[in-house]
Structures are given as C-alpha cells and as structure tokens.
C-alpha cells in the first residue's frame, strides 16, 4: 500500500496548482441547477484530454467518465456535484463569482475540482490499477428532483456496474481532517410551498381587510411549536421557511403571502407524517382568521445512508493517508443530498472534507453562507483520499 500511496501523493503534489486554478475558474463562473452548460463542458474536455471514455447525458448536464485499467478488477465510482446557489457572493476573493446573484456557496466547485484531479492522478498511474474508475459529474443537486436520478435513468451505473461508490462534501471543520459515520449521514428532505390568500386594503383600515402577513406570522409561529409537540424528542426533524414573500409597499395591505421551506429528518416517514400535521395547523389558522390557502408539497431526497462496510473502508484508507487522528466521527445532518439515490443502487459512502482554516476563520462559516470560503489546501487532501479509495479497492 505504501508504494501506491506515495505514487498518488507525488501526482497530487504535481497537479495541485493546476487543479486549484480549475477550481477558481469554476468559482468565477457558477451555474445554477439545471444550467451547468459551461461547467459540464469544462469537465468533459478535461476528461477527454486525459484519454478517458466520456459520455454526456442527453436529458441533463451530467458527465460520465470511465478509466479502464489493463488489469482485471472491480469498478469503483466517484461522484461530484457541479451546481451553484442563488446567492450574491460576499467573500471579497479575487476570483469571486462574475455572475450576479449566483455563487458556489456549498463547495460544489471544490467537489468538481477534486474529482477532476482524482481522474488525472489515476490516469497517470493507470498501469498500477486493478479494475476501472467511473467518474460521475452530477448536475442539479441543489434543486428537486436533482440530477442523480436522471443520470441513473440514462445508464450511468449500468456499463460497467460499479462495485462501490464514494463521494465527499465540504464541511466547516479544520482542513486536514475528514469525518464520516456509518448509517444515516444526511437526512431526508422535503420542500413545501404555501400560499396564504387574504383580502387587500388600505393600511389605515385593517378591519376591512384580511392581512395575509398577519395570518402567515401566526402560521410560522404555530408550526414552530408544532415541531416540538409532534416529533418524539428522541427523533430528529427540522422545519425551516427560507423565503417569505408578500406585499408591494408600506401603505398597502396585500392579498397574498408565499412561504417556501423545507422539512428534514433522518426518517423519511417522519417528513411525510409532519406534512399531514402541518396542513391541519395551516387549515385551522387560515379558516379562523378568514383567509384561505394552497399547499404544495414535494417529497424530496431520501436519507443518505452509508454502508457500514464501505464506511469502514473509507476510515481505513483515509487513516493511512491522513493519519487516524484526522479521521473523525460526525453527527448526522438534516440537510438533503441526492447522492442517496446512488447509494440505493450501489454500496458506498459519503465522507465530509474539512475546509475550515482556524487561523483566518476562528468561527466556522457554514455552507450556504455568502461568505463561504473553503481552504484550498483541502483540494489536495480530497484528491489523495479519493484516488486511494479507487487504487486500493482492488487490493483488498
């Protein structure tokens, strides 16, 4: 293992500057879910230049790269997501986003760069590999129904069928460390859109109107209380409204408010149950206050569950690469991640890649914050771990 590990480390060190530049280019040109045209082209060209077999999905911007070794063995798949978020960047970086209102605030530019670098490393040590490496560059992770299902439907996992699949995700823990847990690591998530209809009027005569902002305020507070009374304290669930939109100016009582939010839980059934309870609360409040409502609910990604054996393998490999003291256990998160669809087809695991620099960022800045600025030293670490996961899988 030591000789192969050293070969990978040498290639990572040689490629690191190039991959960082690719990451910065991707960061400057972020693309929203379902619009990753430029990003997918950058990915496809890079893989083609490496001599990989490259296939671009027809129904979305997914890119599939296949590296075949000359030696028989298993096929290991690695996945990275490529889309950005609708946020205005506030990092002040010289390579900040050039697209107004769009930013890589969840680290998908890092994920993509790491996987491109991993492909380059493995291509350069092809003769030492056993089996194949399958690279899955996935669009639209941030927006339902996601890009994973579309890639699966187009046969991304069919020829050859992977024996294992792995992915990483940036997380605000100190750079140089990764964290992982077997079983549920990221919860199921569902999205809801709630429209509350009132009756408009003049600000000076609220008694002649039905103010949907007031109704919506009661709904939000009541639903917050509902979560503590309808979910077993031993279980985990979260309800958050990310947007509340209503009104046109200060002296007008509007006639509609739109609330959009997410429900997350480690148990998909809890999400479904909570939606039924949520509608009961909404119905009671709106009827009691003279308003009406329309509720749209989409059950989104299932829980991301790491296979215990694959988790143990990640710990073993990462421990050998980084030192066992830098491989930590993590708590499950209630976020949502459509890598879960790949894990439903193939045994595998996701690990969290530390990207925080404690010296410049003593208080971690979390994903989806417009100030999110991952430490680029994490890119080489991600490349080393991912490349070793592939290289050593056939040697187990």
Catalytic residue among 31, 81, 83, 375: 83
What CATH number does the domain containing 198 carry? 3.30.70.360
369 noted as active-site residue: no
What the block records as the tokens of 330 is: 């993590």
pLDDT tens figures, 346-392: 999 999 999 999 999 999 999 999 999 999 999 999 999 999 999 99
> 155 with 105, same domain?
yes
Q: What is the mean pLDDT of residues 14-24?
A: 98
Confidence of residue 233 (pLDDT cuts 50, 70, 90): confident
Antiparallel, parallel or unpaired: β 178-180 and 188-197: unpaired
What CATH number does the domain containing 110 carry? 3.40.630.10
Q: What is the mean pLDDT of residues 172-189?
A: 96
83 noted as active-site residue: yes
> 41 with 153, same domain?
yes
Question: The tokens 């109107």 sit on which residue?
Answer: 209
- The answer to whether residue 234 scores a pLDDT higher than 90 is no
Domain count, the chain: 2
* Containing structural domain, residue 101: 2-186+303-393
Q: DSSP 3-state assignment of 393?
A: helix
100-109, 247-256, 269-278: segment of lowest average pLDDT: 269-278
Q: Measured between alpha carbons, how far is residue 384 from residues 61, 181, 304, 308, 324 in Å?
A: 27, 20, 24, 22, 15
Q: Measured between alpha carbons, how far is residue 110 from residues 107, 114, 210, 394 in Å?
A: 5, 6, 48, 27
Q: Of residues 299 and 330, which shows the higher confidence score?
A: 330
pLDDT on residue 186:
96
Q: Is 130 exposed, middle or buried (0-12, 13-18, 19+ CB in 10 A)?
A: middle
Q: Which domain-ending residue is among 299, 317, 347?
A: 299
What gap in Å lies between CA 45 and CA 363, rounded to an integer? 38
Catalytic residue among 36, 141, 211, 268: 141
Angle between helices 108-124 and 377-393 (to 10 degrees): 50
**DSSP labels for 45-74?**
HHHHHTT-EEEE-SSSS-EEEEEE-SS---
- The answer to whether residue 396 scores a pLDDT higher than 80 is no
Antiparallel, parallel or unpaired: β 201-202 and 252-253: antiparallel
Question: First vs last Cα of the chain: how many Å apart?
Answer: 10
Confidence of residue 1 (pLDDT cuts 50, 70, 90): low
Q: Which domain-ending residue is among 299, 330, 350?
A: 299
Confidence of residue 299 (pLDDT cuts 50, 70, 90): confident
- The answer to whether residue 120 scores a pLDDT higher than 70 is yes
What gap in Å lies between CA 357 and CA 360, rounded to an integer? 6
Q: What is the mean pLDDT of residues 314-320?
A: 98
pLDDT on residue 41:
98
Q: Which domain-ending residue is among 251, 272, 299?
A: 299
């Amino acid at each position: 293992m030591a000789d192969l590990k050293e070969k990978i480390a040498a290639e990572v060190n040689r490629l690191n500057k190039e991959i960082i530049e690719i990451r910065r280019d991707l960061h400057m040109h972020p693309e929203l879910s379902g619009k990753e045209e430029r990003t997918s082209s950058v990915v496809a060209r890079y893989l083609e230049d490496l001599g990989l077999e490259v296939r671009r999905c027809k129904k979305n911007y997914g890119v599939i790269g296949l590296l075949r070794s000359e030696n028989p063995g298993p096929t290991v798949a690695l996945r990275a997501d490529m889309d950005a978020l609708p946020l205005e960047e506030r990092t002040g970086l010289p390579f900040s986003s050039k697209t107004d209102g769009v930013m890589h605030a969840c680290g998908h530019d890092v994920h993509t760069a790491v996987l491109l670098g991993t492909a380059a490393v493995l291509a350069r040590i092809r003769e030492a590999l056993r089996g194949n490496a399958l690279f899955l560059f996935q669009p639209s992770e941030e927006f339902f129904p996601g890009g994973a299902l579309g890639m699966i439907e187009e046969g991304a996992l069919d020829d050859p069928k992977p024996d294992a699949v792995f992915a990483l995700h940036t997380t605000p823990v100190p750079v140089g460390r990764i964290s992982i847990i077997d079983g549920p690591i990221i919860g199921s998530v569902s999205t809801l859109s709630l429209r509350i209809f009132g009756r408009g009027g003049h600000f000076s005569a609220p008694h002649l109107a039905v103010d949907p902002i007031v109704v919506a305020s009661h709904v939000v507070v009541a639903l917050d209380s509902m979560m503590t009374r309808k979910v077993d304290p031993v279980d985990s669930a979260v309800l958050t409204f990310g947007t509340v939109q209503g009104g046109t100016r200060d002296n007008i009582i509007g006639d509609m408010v739109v609330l959009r939010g997410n429900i997350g839980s480690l148990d998909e059934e809890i999400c479904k149950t909570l939606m039924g309870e949520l509608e009961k609360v909404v119905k009671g409040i709106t009827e009691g206050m003279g308003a009406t409502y329309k509720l749209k609910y989409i059950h989104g990604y299932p829980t991301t569950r790491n296979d215990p054996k694959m988790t143990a393998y990640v710990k073993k490999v990462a421990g050998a690469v980084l030192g066992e003291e830098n491989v930590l256990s993590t708590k499950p998160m209630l976020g949502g991640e459509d890598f879960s669809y790949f894990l439903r087809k193939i045994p595998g695991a996701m690990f969290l890649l530390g990207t925080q620099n404690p010296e410049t960022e003593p208080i971690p800045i979390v994903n989806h914050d417009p100030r999110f600025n991952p430490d680029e030293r994490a890119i080489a670490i991600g490349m080393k771990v991912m490349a070793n996961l592939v290289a050593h899988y056939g040697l187990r």
